[in-house]
Structures are given as structure tokens and as C-alpha cells.
Amino acid sequence: MAELYNPLQLPSAASENRISVYLSEVNWVSDTSLLTLTVGILTDAADVTSFGLRLHYDSSQVSYTSDTNYSLLQTSSDTTGQGIDAILASGIVSGSGHVQVSDTTSNFDGEADTDSFVKANWASTWNGTAMEPWPGSTNVELYQINFTVTDTSSGILFGFSADANDLKEGYSLSEVSSGDFRVDLTLSAAEVEGNLVVRYLDSDSNSTTLGNQSLVFVDPGSDNTTVDVTSGTLDELAASISFDHVEMASSSYDDGIAISDAVKVLKQIVGLESLSGASLVAADANLDGGVTISDAVSILKHIVGLDSIVECALLDSSGNLVEGLTSSSAGAYTLVQYGDADLSGTFEII
């Protein structure tokens, strides 16, 4: 069993009026194609009385097999490695039978590619006098859920959503918990422990570590910071840095910007295509915060040499834009070339 890099780690602190869903472990057994996610929640309130959580996934990549021996009464008859294991015993457990449910119509998580989900529910129990708080703690592991990976060619897409009927009044899922994330079967936890790994994606969301070169972290209000990347790992930072965007130290590299990118931007504008994730970030070629006709114009000017797009974005494992790093920053980060909407660039020095 290999412990993979965790793309949705425990937050450093609970956010006010938010419930953060996280993964405490991601384990992969290549011989049996078994992928196990250990799911937990962090909240600033210990008196959560009910919770309904959906775990969404792309059923073309993984297959969920329900455990027919599993008992909602917390007996020990469940079959390890099938369905849901080690479920939190506090409170009353229920939830849609812990079976695969289609999400193509409701699309609860707002991501079209995650077409299925498995849902679990918890509720407080009555002690004879009052309802006992569930789970009675601000940080608990909920369950381990098992999948058989059927497509190992790219990262596995997942996402969470909460049933609004089961949320504590005034609470919602944290922003990070509500975003989709990918589990990379090729990236072990040991590879990124204490290191900051820089990668890039292709159009199929396959990831490749960046080659040996230097990145320039550009802050318009102060001096720029140049840091070397060696075998995909960013050199240790001497101090914290803030930046507006990232550039390549070499001006001669494969940025992948072509006419196909302008076409993608135009299709996005007129509704013929719906870009998401890194592609949507890249489509904002002029960095004005939206995707408009001016972005297509910027791409065309770059292609014919009337202008030059050199800016890149750095995204964290949840797809959020990163504008600061510290000496303790670690994990896998994705480099995206603005203007390269189809993600065809390889950043190789030419």
C-alpha cells in the first residue's frame, strides 16, 4: 500500500461558521487498483447535531462497490476494502444506503465531470433527557471510503457537497471543501513532504513535473524573486514572498499559445464551450479577471508578434490562485501559462 500526496489536507485552523471537509490519508494499492480516502471534518462548533455529506467522483475513472455486509448498526461484519469502512460510531448513521447515486441531473457539486456520488448522514442521539451533540468534537474522522480505479491514465477527479437540510444553522462548507480536487496516482506523499513541487497539466489533466529551470515571482510593488526548480522541486525560500504572477527566467520556452487557444476563448464567450479549472484561468490572457473578446485579441497579438504574453499563474492543489509562498510551503502546485487555454504548453526550454 502506498500513501499518495493528499490534495485536500487538514486546514491549520477552523473557519468561523464553516465546516471544512478534508482527507487525512489517501492510500493506493496498485496490485488491486484499490484507492482508499479517509475523510474528516473540522469545525469551530462542537455541537453539530447532524451532517449529510456527498462525495462526488467521475465514474469513468473509479468504481464504487457497496459493501453488502455493512451494517448501519456498527457491527463488525463489514468487508474491509469495500464500500465504507471505519465509519464514525457516534450518533446515528444513515444515508441513502451508501450506494452510488447519479448526479448528472442535480449536479450538487457544480462539476459536470463528477457524475456520481455516495452520501452518508449522521445525527445526534437521544440520551433520555436531551439530544447529545454529534460528533462532540470539532475535529473528527468520519469514514474511509473505497474505490476501484478503472482508469489510471490521469488524476482522479473528486468533490464534496453537503446536504443543506443537515447543516448546522448558519453554517456552510468551507470554500476549499466545496471545490473539486484530483488524486494523482503517480505522486506519493514522500515526494512532496517538506517540498514544494511544481507541475503543469496537459489537456487531459495529466500532470508532469517542471524541468530544471528558474521561475521569477513578480511583485509590481517590490523586487522580483528568482527561484530555481530542480527536478520539479522549488528550491527552499530564504523568506516569504508575495507576487502578482510568475514568469519563466528564460524567454525561450514552449508556451503552447496558438490559434486553438483563441478559438477556445471565443467558444467560451458565446457559450459553445464551458472552460473550468486551469483552462479557465489560462483563458484570462490579459489578467483582468474575466474571459472576454479582449483575451482572444491578446492571444492573437501574441501569435503574430504584436505583443507578448509572459505571465503565468501558480495554482494550489485545489485549483486556487496562489499569490504568496513561505519557507514552509509544501505540496504540489500547478503552473499555468496565461493564454494557453488548451493547456498544450510544456514549458520546455527551446
- Where b means 16+ CB within 10 Å and e means fewer, 117-135 reads bbbbbbbbeeeeeeebbbb
| pLDDT 10s digits, 209-259 | 888 899 999 998 878 999 999 878 899 898 899 999 999 999 899 999 999
Q: Which three cell numbers stand for residue 24?
A: 487525512
The domain of 24 spans 2-183
Regarding whether 22 and 151 lie in a shared domain, the answer is yes
Strand, helix or coil at 268?
A: helix
> Tell me, what amino acid is at 131?
M
33 in a domain, yes or no?
yes
- Which of 317, 296, 323 minimizes the C-alpha distance to 338? 296
| pLDDT 10s digits, 185-207 | 988 887 787 889 998 988 877 77
How far apart are the C-alpha atoms of 340 and 111, rounded to whole Å?
22
Preceding amide of 135 cis, omega within 30: yes
Question: Residue 108 belongs to a domain with what CATH number?
Answer: 2.60.40.680
| pLDDT 10s digits, 281-340 | 999 999 999 999 999 999 999 999 999 999 999 998 778 899 999 988 888 899 999 999
Regarding whether 168 and 137 lie in a shared domain, the answer is yes
| pLDDT 10s digits, 127-163 | 788 777 778 789 998 889 999 999 998 789 999 999 9
Residue 74's pLDDT is 47
Angle, in degrees to the nearest 10, between helices 259-270 and 293-304: 170
Beta carbons of 134 and 87 less than 8 angstroms apart:
no
Q: What is the mean pLDDT of residues 30-40?
A: 96
Regarding whether 170 and 68 lie in a shared domain, the answer is yes
Alpha helices (H) in 161-258, listed in sequence order: 175-178, 189-192
189 in a domain, yes or no?
no
How far apart are the C-alpha atoms of 25 and 36, rounded to whole Å?
8
